[in-house]
């Protein structure tokens, strides 16, 4: 089975590319982030025509997550237990969606950005990650050997080599010690980040900003990851970062990250 995660940065703007990728790469399950569309307007038809069931969680033109699967789509859950709220009035955002696909519990995750180190959104980001870790730790003790994949845009660069120039990020989000500690906490809770295990190369990125020719200069960030439960991590035979999907007209600023399961 092949599972992929992709921050598509607007599913309506990227629909043709996403459907073409699904068919070309023979993806069984695709977790999408930043779909930027309400549920009622999600373009499910082309996915269904290609043989996929779709679950989506979108509340407005921001955020949004979805899962497309051709190996089953069961027990769909919008948001995780304890997920914190944001906004005025505070509300749970469309940032996490879970479904069971081919026996694997897949979570499509879009972690808050943080905006600035002293911004209230950073406190929200850290609270979000802490609440998710608590929920994820609970999932590990439910049943015998659960197969869980928490995949998506984590908005954290865990290592200095996960950004093109660590000096350029001094004082900014994504690389701060609290964010990195919150990311590591999932490993401490018992999960394994499998893309690093299979793709240990330095300066291997999953996102390049649209500004200042970041992609041609390979000035990117590695912020899309897959934390797997121990049983599922043992099934991961290989991983891939599909860099070519950043090329061409109308590309997302992120690229797919794939997991092949034995």
63-80 pLDDT per residue, tens: 999 999 999 999 999 999
* Structure confidence at residue 145 (pLDDT): 76
Mean pLDDT for all residues in the chain: 97
* Structure confidence at residue 20 (pLDDT): 98
* Structure confidence at residue 142 (pLDDT): 75
* Structure confidence at residue 226 (pLDDT): 98
Q: What percent of the chain has pLDDT over 90?
A: 98
* Structure confidence at residue 141 (pLDDT): 87
Please give the Cα distance from 120 to 143 (Å, whole number): 37
Which phi and psi (to 5°) does residue 249 adopt? -75, 135
Convert the pLDDT of each residue in 137-170 to its tens digit.
Answer: 999 987 667 999 999 999 999 999 999 999 999 9
Domains of the chain with CATH codes: 2-261 (3.60.10.10)
Q: How confident is the model at residue 105 (pLDDT cuts 50, 70, 90)?
A: very high
Q: What is the pTM (predicted TM-score) of this model?
A: 0.97
Q: For residues 178-193, give the mean pLDDT.
A: 98
Q: Closest Cα partner for 21 from 248, 227, 261?
A: 248
Q: How confident is the model at residue 176 (pLDDT cuts 50, 70, 90)?
A: very high
Q: Residue 223 pLDDT more than 80?
A: yes
Q: How confident is the model at residue 207 (pLDDT cuts 50, 70, 90)?
A: very high
Q: Residue 110 pLDDT more than 80?
A: yes
Convert the pLDDT of each residue in 5-43 to its tens digit.
Answer: 999 999 999 999 999 999 999 999 999 999 999 999 999
């Amino acid at each position: 089975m092949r599972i992929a995660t992709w921050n598509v940065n607007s599913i309506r703007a990227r629909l043709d590319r996403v459907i073409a990728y699904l068919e070309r790469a023979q993806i069984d399950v695709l977790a999408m982030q930043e779909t930027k569309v309400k549920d009622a307007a999600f373009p499910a038809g082309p996915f269904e025509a290609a043989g996929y069931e779709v679950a989506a969680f979108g509340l407005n033109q921001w955020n949004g997550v979805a899962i497309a699967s051709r190996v089953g789509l069961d027990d769909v859950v919008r948001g995780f237990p304890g997920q914190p709220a944001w906004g005025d009035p505070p509300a749970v955002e469309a940032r996490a969606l879970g479904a069971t696909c081919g026996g694997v519990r897949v979570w499509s995750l879009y972690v808050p950005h943080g905006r600035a180190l002293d911004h209230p959104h950073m406190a929200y980001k850290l609270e979000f990650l802490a609440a998710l870790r608590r929920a994820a730790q609970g999932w590990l003790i439910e049943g015998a050997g659960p197969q869980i994949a928490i995949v998506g845009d984590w908005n954290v660069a865990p290592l200095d080599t996960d950004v093109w120039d660590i000096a350029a990020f001094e004082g900014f989000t994504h690389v701060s010690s609290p964010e990195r500690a919150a990311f590591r906490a999932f490993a401490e809770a018992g999960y394994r980040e499998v893309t690093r295990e299979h793709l240990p190369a330095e300066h291997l990125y999953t996102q390049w900003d649209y500004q200042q020719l970041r992609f041609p200069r390979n000035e990117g960030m590695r912020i899309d990851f897959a934390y797997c439960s121990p049983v599922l991590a043992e099934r991961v035979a290989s991983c891939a970062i599909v860099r070519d999907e950043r090329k061409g007209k109308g590309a997302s600023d992120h690229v797919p990250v794939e997991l092949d399961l034995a």
